[in-house]
């Protein structure tokens, strides 16, 4: 079995989101509703996407544990199959989210894929190679069902948390395409081979002339995952 595909519906236009969800929903494993769409339309964005595939609600929650627990509970009630929180919120916050939404896979975001080591140093943070595995272990220990990290850190994350947790990898760019705002991108094939459980694809699908065909082509290119993954 190869890595699962997640299509990012990154738009504030509900009509466009609905059309993209309908076009690609049958060819991917989840549809990502992010902060832009949720800020514009709230639960209606989740409902529109959920008509076509399970929803990965990418809100990157980061607040005190009680507030995050309430938000996670609400997200689960709206039908989120996956939900992101920031690992840097700490173990109590992560545990609160996981306990409040036991049927939803809570994913802890380690270091945004738009940040490189220079940007991390500017805000007083260690390198991604050091920070990501540490946050991964903290998050899984607190009850997270998986992590979000760049492809370059997959091996180190797997070494710290094993093969069971989900490892969702954004910043995916097919070979020969622009990296846009991603500082640590990877091709779908490389991320899948490294041990990603899910790949997040945005422009590669949403800007394609035929998003469904693009998803099928990417899925066909992926190597099968090892039985231990």
* Contacting residues for 207 by C-beta, under 8 A, at least 6 apart: none
Instruction: Report the alpha-carbon angle 83-84-89, nearest 5.
Output: 135
The answer on pLDDT for 58 being more than 50 is yes
Please state which of the four CATH numbers 3.60.10.10, 3.20.20.70, 3.30.1330.10, 3.10.310.70 is assigned to the domain occupying 4-221.
3.20.20.70
Q: What is the mean pLDDT of the chain?
A: 91
CA atoms within 13 A on the CB side of 76: 16
CB 134 within 8 A of CB 108: no
First to last CA, the chain: 9
Q: What is the pLDDT of residues 67-91, one digit of tens each?
A: 999 999 999 999 999 999 999 999 9
Choosing from 41, 60, 62, 203, the catalytic residue is: 60
Chain mean position to CA 132: 15
32 is catalytic: no
Q: What is the pLDDT of residues 112-163, one digit of tens each?
A: 878 888 988 998 888 888 899 999 999 999 999 999 998 989 999 999 999 9
With 0.85 as the threshold, say if the pTM is over it: yes
Which of these, 145, 170, 143, 167, lies nearest to 155 by C-alpha position? Answer: 167
């Amino acid at each position: 079995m190869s890595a699962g595909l997640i299509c990012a519906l990154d738009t504030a236009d509900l009509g466009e989101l609905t059309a993209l969800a309908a076009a690609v929903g049958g060819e991917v494993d989840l549809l990502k509703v992010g902060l832009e769409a949720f800020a514009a339309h709230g639960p209606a964005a989740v409902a529109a996407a959920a008509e076509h595939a399970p929803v990965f609600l990418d809100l990157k929650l980061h607040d005190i544990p009680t507030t995050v627990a309430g938000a996670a509970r609400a997200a689960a009630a709206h039908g989120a199959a996956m939900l992101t929180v920031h690992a840097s919120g700490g173990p109590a916050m992560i545990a609160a989210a996981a306990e409040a939404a036991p049927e939803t896979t809570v994913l802890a975001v380690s270091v945004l894929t738009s940040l490189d080591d220079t940007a991390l140093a500017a805000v007083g943070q260690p390198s991604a190679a050091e920070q990501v595995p540490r946050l991964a272990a903290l998050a899984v220990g607190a009850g997270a069902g998986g992590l979000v990290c760049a492809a370059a850190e997959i091996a180190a994350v797997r070494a710290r948390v094993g093969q069971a947790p989900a490892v969702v990898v954004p910043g995916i760019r097919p070979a020969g395409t622009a990296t846009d705002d991603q500082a640590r991108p990877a091709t779908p094939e490389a991320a899948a081979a490294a041990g990603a459980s899910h790949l997040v694809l945005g422009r590669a699908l949403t800007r394609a002339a035929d998003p469904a065909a693009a998803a099928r082509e990417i899925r066909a290119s992926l190597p099968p995952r090892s039985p231990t993954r």
